[in-house]
């Protein structure tokens, strides 16, 4: 690992070699079955990360107009961009139509009406997939399931027929097929097998082919190993895609797609932070770092645990609560974390921070935004090398 001592903390450190390896394995495994992957840019919208993914031929999966705009800026072809979201504004829908993206993943009959109206106004045809809420348990944290009746996402089955009929009766809509996403950080394959069975039934029962549907987007959600990231840094994409190959029973030639986020980028990033203080509490010790929930919100929001290591000390171990400096009691990275005896100035790494860390930063307490640092071949990349990777020439970055 590179020498990081001179760099101002906290920062996100991205291992570009691991990223490239992960993306290339995922792409190769998907290609075996003719599947296409859209990168869920919400997981990490960093320009260098996104550009490497673009260079591997993946499309983009967006959930806001700004993400659509950014994906285009990053060079994802418009024909590879999909856009989901329960609350698309009129401006965002207009943008998606004007940029002629691959399709809007529509989440309600009410939204279909608005898309129709905007398309009519502009004399355009809107390519639309219907996002279906399949009412499937994803076996993950309650706050990151998306495919249950209680979730706001997608069109629930009792309303699907109506939505399909709106599509087929509307000049302005070109129906492409169905979209699903059942949740995130799903680490077993059972939920995906159940999803396939559900999709097969829905396709048959609603006769999706008769409505002109030939595309199936199964979303993302494949999880990573937060407990042992150093030994298990690349998810088992082979087994993941094989489940779909084995259990999906759809008409030959169906265009099958995925929207992977965390599984592609989660393990390539870590937060590098410095210990400001070690403080004695009552019956416990705190390690206070210069990174906080503003740089990584997951532990505060979902009680997520990230592996934490002290890369400076090697002494005998103790238990610490590792906390940030932010004015919130939930600004805690981990309780009872076993670390070598830790002192002010030590460098701490919080692992598995490539997904939903940098893209979920908060400006709370008017904290500075932590920068990104990129590593490849065991050394930190220079600005010029970074600009080359982005593919925009060397003038854009300071
Ligand atoms: N497609 C759709 C429609 C989604 O809503 C999501 C994630 C994805 C794809 C990508 O899912 P992935 O492959 O990354 O699991 N902030 C939470 C995760 C929220 C995920 C929301 N949707 C976390 O930090 O765990």
Q: Is the pLDDT of residue 398 over 50?
A: no
Whether ligand 1 lies within 6 angstroms of the CB of 221 is answered as yes
**26, 40, 49, 195: which to mutate for ligand 1, most atoms within 8 A of CB?**
40
**139, 220, 269: which to mutate for ligand 1, most atoms within 8 A of CB?**
220
Q: What pLDDT does 393 receive? A: 43
Q: What pLDDT does 392 receive? A: 56
In DSSP notation, 88-131 reads --HHHHHHHHHTT-SEEEE--HHHHHHHHHHHHHTT--EEEEEE
Q: Is the pLDDT of residue 139 over 90?
A: no
Residue owning the nearest CA to atom 6 of ligand 1: 220
In DSSP notation, 236-263 reads -HHHHHHHHHHH----TT-EEEEEE-HH
Residue owning the nearest CA to atom 22 of ligand 1: 184
From ligand 1's centre to the CA of 221, what distance in Å?
6
**Residues 248, 291: one domain?**
no
- Give every CB contact of residue 335 below 8 A, 6+ residues apart in sequence: 321
From ligand 1's centre to the CA of 222, what distance in Å?
9
338, β-bridge pairs: 319
Q: Which two tokens stand for residue 147?
A: 């495919």
Share of the chain above pLDDT 70, in %: 97
Q: What pLDDT does 150 receive? A: 76
329 part of a folded domain = yes
**Residues 319, 298: one domain?**
yes
**Residues 67, 192: one domain?**
yes
Can you tell me the distance from the alpha carbon of 325 to that of 293, in angstroms, rounded to the nearest whole number?
Answer: 9
**Residues 205, 221: one domain?**
yes
Task: Please write the tens of the pLDDT for every residue from 28-39.
Answer: 999 999 999 999
Q: Is the dihedral of CA 223, 224, 226, 232 positive or negative?
A: positive
Can you tell me the distance from the alpha carbon of 125 to that of 36, in angstroms, rounded to the nearest whole number?
Answer: 24
27 part of a folded domain = no
Whether ligand 1 lies within 6 angstroms of the CB of 219 is answered as yes
From ligand 1's centre to the CA of 261, what distance in Å?
7
- Would you say 304 and 327 are in contact if contact means Cβ atoms under 8 Å apart? no
7 part of a folded domain = no
Whether ligand 1 lies within 6 angstroms of the CB of 144 is answered as yes
Residue owning the nearest CA to atom 23 of ligand 1: 356
Q: What pLDDT does 3 receive? A: 75
Pairing relation of β-strands 173-179 and 126-133?
parallel
Can you tell me the distance from the alpha carbon of 170 to that of 97, in angstroms, rounded to the nearest whole number?
Answer: 16
Task: Please write the tens of the pLDDT for every residue from 255-270.
Answer: 999 999 999 999 999 9
From ligand 1's centre to the CA of 368, what distance in Å?
26
Mean pLDDT value of segment 110-134: 96
**Residues 215, 316: one domain?**
no
Task: Please write the tens of the pLDDT for every residue from 157-195.
Answer: 999 999 999 999 999 999 999 999 999 999 999 999 999
Can you tell me the distance from the alpha carbon of 109 to that of 155, in angstroms, rounded to the nearest whole number?
Answer: 8
**Residues 71, 213: one domain?**
yes
Write the CATH number for 375: 2.40.37.10
- Would you say 299 and 332 are in contact if contact means Cβ atoms under 8 Å apart? yes
What's the domain count of the chain? 2
Q: What pLDDT does 391 receive? A: 76
- pLDDT band (50, 70, 90) for residue 1: low
Element (H, E) at 176: strand 173-179
In DSSP notation, 367-379 reads PPPPPEEEEETTE
Q: What pLDDT does 297 receive? A: 98
Whether ligand 1 lies within 6 angstroms of the CB of 220 is answered as yes
Q: Is the pLDDT of residue 145 over 80?
A: no
Task: Please write the tens of the pLDDT for every residue from 337-372.
Answer: 999 999 999 999 999 999 999 999 999 999 999 999
Atom of ligand 1 nearest to the CA of 264: 13
23 part of a folded domain = no
**Residues 293, 254: one domain?**
no
**Residues 165, 291: one domain?**
no
**Residues 226, 373: one domain?**
no
Q: Which two tokens stand for residue 196?
A: 């396939």
Q: What pLDDT does 152 receive? A: 85
Pairing relation of β-strands 11-15 and 269-280?
antiparallel
Whether ligand 1 lies within 6 angstroms of the CB of 356 is answered as yes
Query: Which of 228, 260, 292 marks a domain boundary?
Result: 260
159 part of a folded domain = yes
**Residues 136, 204: one domain?**
yes
SS3 71: helix
Query: Which of 260, 285, 306 marks a domain boundary?
Result: 260
Residue owning the nearest CA to atom 1 of ligand 1: 219
21 part of a folded domain = no
- Would you say 168 and 211 are in contact if contact means Cβ atoms under 8 Å apart? yes
Q: Please report, to the nearest 10 degrees, the dihedral formed by the alpha carbons of residues 40, 43, 47, 49 taken in order.
A: -90
**Residues 96, 207: one domain?**
yes
Query: Which of 198, 232, 260 marks a domain boundary?
Result: 260
Whether ligand 1 lies within 6 angstroms of the CB of 40 is answered as yes
From ligand 1's centre to the CA of 201, what distance in Å?
25
Residue owning the nearest CA to atom 8 of ligand 1: 220
Can you tell me the distance from the alpha carbon of 216 to that of 254, in angstroms, rounded to the nearest whole number?
Answer: 7
Can you tell me the distance from the alpha carbon of 109 to that of 128, in angstroms, rounded to the nearest whole number?
Answer: 12
319 part of a folded domain = yes
Element (H, E) at 359: none
Q: What DSSP state is assigned to residue 154?
A: S
Can you tell me the distance from the alpha carbon of 285 to that of 292, in angstroms, rounded to the nearest whole number?
Answer: 17
Can you tell me the distance from the alpha carbon of 318 to that of 320, in angstroms, rounded to the nearest whole number?
Answer: 7
Whether ligand 1 lies within 6 angstroms of the CB of 260 is answered as yes
Q: Is the pLDDT of residue 394 over 60?
A: no
Atom of ligand 1 nearest to the CA of 220: 13
**Residues 100, 187: one domain?**
yes
Residue owning the nearest CA to atom 15 of ligand 1: 221
Q: What is the largest CA-CA distance in the chain?
A: 71
22 part of a folded domain = no
Q: Which domain holds residue 88?
A: 32-260
Write the CATH number for 93: 3.20.20.10
């Amino acid at each position: 690992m590179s020498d990081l001592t001179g760099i101002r903390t906290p920062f996100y450190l991205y291992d570009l070699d691991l990223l490239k390896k992960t993306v290339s394995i995922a792409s190769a495994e998907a290609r075996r079955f003719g599947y296409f992957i859209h990168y869920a840019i919400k997981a990490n919208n960093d320009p260098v990360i996104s550009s490497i993914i673009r260079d591997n031929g993946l499309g983009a999966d967006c959930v806001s107009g700004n993400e659509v705009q950014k994906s285009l800026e990053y060079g994802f072809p418009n024909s590879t961009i999909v856009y989901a979201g329960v609350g698309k504004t009129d401006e965002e829908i207009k943008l998606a139509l004007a940029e002629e993206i691959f399709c809007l993943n529509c989440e309600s009959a009410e939204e279909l009406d608005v898309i129709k109206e905007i398309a009519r106004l502009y004399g355009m045809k809107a390519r639309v997939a219907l996002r279906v809420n399949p009412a499937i348990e994803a076996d993950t944290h309650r706050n990151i399931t998306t495919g249950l009746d209680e979730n706001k996402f997608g069109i629930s089955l009792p309303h699907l027929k109506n939505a399909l009929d709106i599509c087929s009766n509307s000049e302005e809509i070109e129906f492409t097929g169905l979209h699903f996403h059942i949740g995130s950080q799903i680490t077993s394959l059972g939920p995906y097998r159940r999803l396939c069975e559900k999709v097969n039934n829905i396709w048959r029962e609603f006769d999706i082919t008769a409505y002109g549907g030939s595309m199936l987007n199964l979303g993302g959600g494949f999880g990573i190993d937060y407990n042992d990231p150093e030994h298990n840094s690349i998810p088992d994409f082979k087994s993941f895609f094989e489940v779909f190959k084995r259990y999906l029973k759809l008409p030959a030639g169906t265009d099958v797609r995925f929207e992977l986020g965390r599984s592609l980028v989660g393990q390539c990033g870590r937060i590098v932070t410095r210990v400001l203080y070690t403080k004695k509490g009552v019956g416990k010790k705190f390690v206070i770092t210069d990174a906080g929930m503003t740089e990584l919100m997951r532990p505060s929001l979902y009680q997520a645990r990230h592996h934490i290591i002290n890369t400076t000390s090697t002494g005998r171990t103790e238990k610490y609560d590792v906390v940030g400096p932010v004015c919130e009691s939930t600004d805690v990275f981990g309780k009872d974390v076993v670390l070598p005896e830790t002192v002010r100035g030590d460098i701490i790494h919080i692992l598995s921070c490539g997904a939903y860390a940098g893209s979920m930063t908060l400006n709370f307490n008017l904290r500075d935004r932590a920068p990104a640092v990129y590593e490849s071949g065991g050394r930190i990349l220079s600005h010029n090398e970074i600009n080359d990777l982005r593919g925009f020439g060397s003038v854009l970055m300071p």
